[in-house]
Structure 1
Amino acid sequence: MNPLQNAEQAVLGSVLLDPEQLAHLPWLAPDHFDRPVHQALFAALRKLRDDGHHATTAGKSVPLSWVTDAVDEASLHVRGLTAVYAHTLISACPRAGHAPVYGRMVLEGAIHRSITGHAIRLHQAARADALRGGVEGALHCADVLNGVLDDLAQRWGSEPRPVEPAPATAPVTAAVAPLPVETGQGVEDERFLLAVLADRPKAMDEVVGWLRPGDFADPAHGHLYRCLGALHHRGEPIDRITLLWEAQRRGLLGDGTLSSDQFAAICDGVGSGSAEWLGEQVLRSSVTWTAAGSARTVRALAENEALSPGRLINHALHALGPLDDVRTRWQAASGSPAPAPTAPVHSPNGPPPAQVHAALARSTPRPVSPPPARPGSAPARALPRPPSRGHG
């Protein structure tokens, strides 16, 4: 049993039974359907409506040509569609008037698929950037994903904002780790940078404003950089002895975080080179593996079918937060221009009209129950049921 396929069949069956249901589905697009045959058929039904097909003004009885013309139009774009399948869709629809609810289910499935696909592309771009030593592809895909999340929020009728998932619903993903391609040259750059900072303390001024301990692929290097930052912040002298003492005070030697061989390899190394340039290489690597980690988290969220679209969008925005932070620091370090904001500026008086329209279009207000009749009053006359629409 596939609930999403049943929903796609039901919404198409609703429109085939009652063309007027298209007026309640302006927020639903053909590419929101998973199956190509359903995409083509929904696009054909919208085209017939826009072209003024006589079935849209036929009144109570819908002519059979509404079905046959829709099949003929859709068959121009997809193969294997027959009138028999169209009537199967009609029989799969419990109630034509529930089309907005069926359409909401289709949109939910499309939101999960879209976010999953863009998360996969972000991860692939991060790996490719790590191989060629760049960040442009990953940052572009991150921009696209942010724009997609904002557009999906508008369609769903919610306000996009980062929200941390609750521990019970947080995705179970592996800890963010550097990409395999980063563990070679990236770790070497970190070692050279620490050697420069230990040998030339004034070089800390070149990187301390935008480089963070979490940007180091090797955790031991990150802890040692934190020790250098603490000495620099307190204005204490930095050399091999003071750095070793700070590491010992922080327990890095006792718990095995930093070995004596690692410390010797850094402090006995050649402390020559540009700290700013080496810091940029470390930060560039941090951008790519942070992008990959955010992509894995977003994908895990999107593959959780229990998450509603609004929560999924907000949790995905939260998962992109670490990438936004390291990206801001990368732009400050490299002098790259910041991208133009893609999120719309919302009115302080409430959500945008497009969001309100989408939210209302997806929900049918409950009928108000009549007040109970007073004792002695005549019972209200039942209204006659309107005749059901059928194919003539």
Structure 2
Amino acid sequence: MNPLLHAEQAVLGSVLLDPGQLAHLDWLAPDHFDRPVHQALFAALRKLRADGHPGLAADASVPLSWVTDAVEEAGHHVRGLSAVYAHTLVSACPRPEHAPVYGRMVLEGAIHRSITAHAIRLHQAARADALRGEVEGALHHAVVLTGVLTDLARRWGTEPRPVPPATPLATAPAALPPVRADHVSEDERFLLAVLVERPRAMDEVVGWLRPGDFADPAHGQLYRCLGALHHRGEPIDRITLLWEAQRRGLLADGTLSGGQVAAICDGVGPGSAEWLGEQILRSSVTRVAAASARAVQGLAQDEALSSGQLINHALHALGPLDDVRTRWQIANGRPAPPPSTRAPSPTGPSPARVHAALARSSPRQVSPSSATASGSVVAPAAVRTPSRGPS
């Protein structure tokens, strides 16, 4: 038994039994239905309503033409629909006056499907960018997903805000494609060697490169040690770096060994710290994008989450990606992007969100003549690839 399928059938059945229920479903769109035949039929019913079908004016029994005309109109856009299925939909509706509640179930299913689809696209773009050594696709789909979440929150009638789940998701860090892993590790070692040899180069990367951007955790810890020495204004060389690593317990717990530190410090050669840092940050963008996409997809597949919880948890899961995206733009000399979600209004939610929330749960007796057609969902869309090479 599929609750979503029954909810879609019940919505359509309620409108076929009582055309006036369309006045309480202005926030529901045809593409919110999962099955194409249901999409076509709901669009047909809305068209008949917009055209002023006589069935809307019926005071007592609904004329048969309301059903047959809807089936005929929907049949222009989908194959296999017959009047028999229309009667099946009528039988699937327990109470026509519960149409807004059935519609809310349909909208919840659409929200879960939409977020899942966009998370999959983000993951695919991140993996493709990782193979090509790019970030544009991942960044574009990240902006699209954030826009979709914000739009869905407004359609659902809630304020979009990042909220961590009660139980943190257990997601493993995204692994680099084998073809790129060696290149990234080499860039990381080379950057650390350059920073040890030329401590002033820390100024070129310290503002936007973080230890978590390193694919190798040991390399990230060494960069953290360099950052600590730089922050305190202490000298940086292989001895002070080794001493800082020891003070942080990295030698005792096996994170690093003296041989690893020596090998990195011996790999000195001419190079641009800024260019190497950008290569590392580029790799970090795609890894974080893939990990965030998997986290959002896992949330969307949890049917126990309500739509409001799902949207806000998904925005929270995109937080690390927002951070690394901001630092990527700073590294490339571009201004930081605006916040992905607006702060809650001190005067409370907007009237539009209040109306959307109330319409789903409190059906009101509205005359068909005062009904308005619903709007369409709009998903927004939206970095200079470093042109500098190593010196």
Q: Same fold (TM over 0.5)?
A: yes
Give the aligned partner of residue 169 of structure 2: 171
Question: Based on CA coordinates, which of the two structures has the bigger radius of gyration?
Answer: 1
Q: SS of the residue aligned with 1:292? A: helix
Q: Over residues 70-123 of structure 1, what are the superposed CA-to-partner deviations in whole Å (9 max), with x where a residue is unaligned?
A: 101101111111100000000000000000000000000000000000000000
Give the aligned partner of residue 330 of structure 2: 332
How many Å apart are 1:223 and its aligned residue? 0.3
How many Å apart are 1:253 and its aligned residue? 1.5
How many Å apart are 1:59 and its aligned residue? 1.5
How many Å apart are 1:365 and its aligned residue? 7.5
Which among 279, 300, 307 is matched to residue 277 of structure 2?
279
Query: Is 1:19 equivalent to 2:38 in the alignment?
Result: no
How many Å apart are 1:235 and its aligned residue? 1.2
Aligned partners of 1:345 and 1:54: how far apart in 2?
Answer: 46
What is the aligned-residue identity percentage?
Answer: 80
Aligned partners of 2:177 and 2:159: how far apart in 1?
Answer: 34
User: Normalising by the residue count of structure 1, what TM-score does the alignment of the two structures yield?
Assistant: 0.89
Aligned partners of 1:261 and 1:289: how far apart in 2?
Answer: 28
User: Normalising by the residue count of structure 2, what TM-score does the alignment of the two structures yield?
Assistant: 0.90
Query: Is 1:207 equivalent to 2:205 in the alignment?
Result: yes
Aligned partners of 1:349 and 1:117: how far apart in 2?
Answer: 34
Give the aligned partner of residue 229 of structure 2: 231
Say whether the 8 Å CA contact 2:115–2:297 is kept in structure 1.
yes
Give the aligned partner of residue 39 of structure 1: 39
Q: Over residues 187-222 of structure 1, what are the superposed CA-to-partner deviations in whole Å (9 max), with x where a residue is unaligned?
A: 111111001001111111111111110010000000
How many Å apart are 1:359 and its aligned residue? 0.3
Cα separation, partners in 2 of 1:88 and 1:43, compared to 1, 3 Å: same
Aligned partners of 2:343 and 2:237: how far apart in 1?
Answer: 50
Q: How does 1:148-227 map to 2 (within 5 A)?
A: 148-167=148-167, 170-178=168-176, 180-227=178-225
Q: How does 1:315-326 map to 2 (within 5 A)?
A: 315-326=313-324
Say whether the 8 Å CA contact 2:196–2:237 is kept in structure 1.
yes
Q: How does 1:308-319 map to 2 (within 5 A)?
A: 308-319=306-317
Give the aligned partner of residue 250 of structure 1: 248
Say whether the 8 Å CA contact 1:158–1:355 is kept in structure 2.
yes
Aligned partners of 2:48 and 2:207: how far apart in 1?
Answer: 60
Q: Over residues 287-345 of structure 1, what are the superposed CA-to-partner deviations in whole Å (9 max), with x where a residue is unaligned?
A: 11001110010000000000000000000000000011111111111113445666568
Aligned partners of 2:101 and 2:163: how far apart in 1?
Answer: 26
Q: CA RMSD in A?
A: 1.7
Give the aligned partner of residue 93 of structure 1: 93
Cα separation, partners in 2 of 1:291 and 1:342, compared to 1, 3 Å: closer
Q: SS of the residue aligned with 2:361? A: coil
* AA at the equivalent of 2:225: C
Q: How does 1:114-125 map to 2 (within 5 A)?
A: 114-125=114-125
Cα separation, partners in 2 of 1:203 and 1:341, compared to 1, 3 Å: closer
Indicate the larger mover: 247-256 or 99-108: 247-256
Aligned partners of 2:138 and 2:101: how far apart in 1?
Answer: 37
Say whether the 8 Å CA contact 1:294–1:320 is kept in structure 2.
yes
Q: Over residues 25-65 of structure 1, what are the superposed CA-to-partner deviations in whole Å (9 max), with x where a residue is unaligned?
A: 01100000000100000000000100111101121110001
* AA at the equivalent of 1:159: E
* AA at the equivalent of 2:52: G
Aligned partners of 1:12 and 1:6: how far apart in 2?
Answer: 10
Q: Over residues 350-377 of structure 1, what are the superposed CA-to-partner deviations in whole Å (9 max), with x where a residue is unaligned?
A: 21222111001011279xxxxxxxxxxx
Aligned partners of 1:160 and 1:74: how far apart in 2?
Answer: 35
Q: SS of the residue aligned with 2:231? A: helix
Q: How does 1:64-83 map to 2 (within 5 A)?
A: 64-83=64-83
Cα separation, partners in 2 of 1:172 and 1:228, compared to 1, 3 Å: closer
Cα separation, partners in 2 of 1:179 and 1:321, compared to 1, 3 Å: farther
Aligned partners of 2:329 and 2:180: how far apart in 1?
Answer: 20
Give the aligned partner of residue 356 of structure 1: 354
Give the aligned partner of residue 137 of structure 1: 137
Say whether the 8 Å CA contact 2:119–2:145 is kept in structure 1.
yes
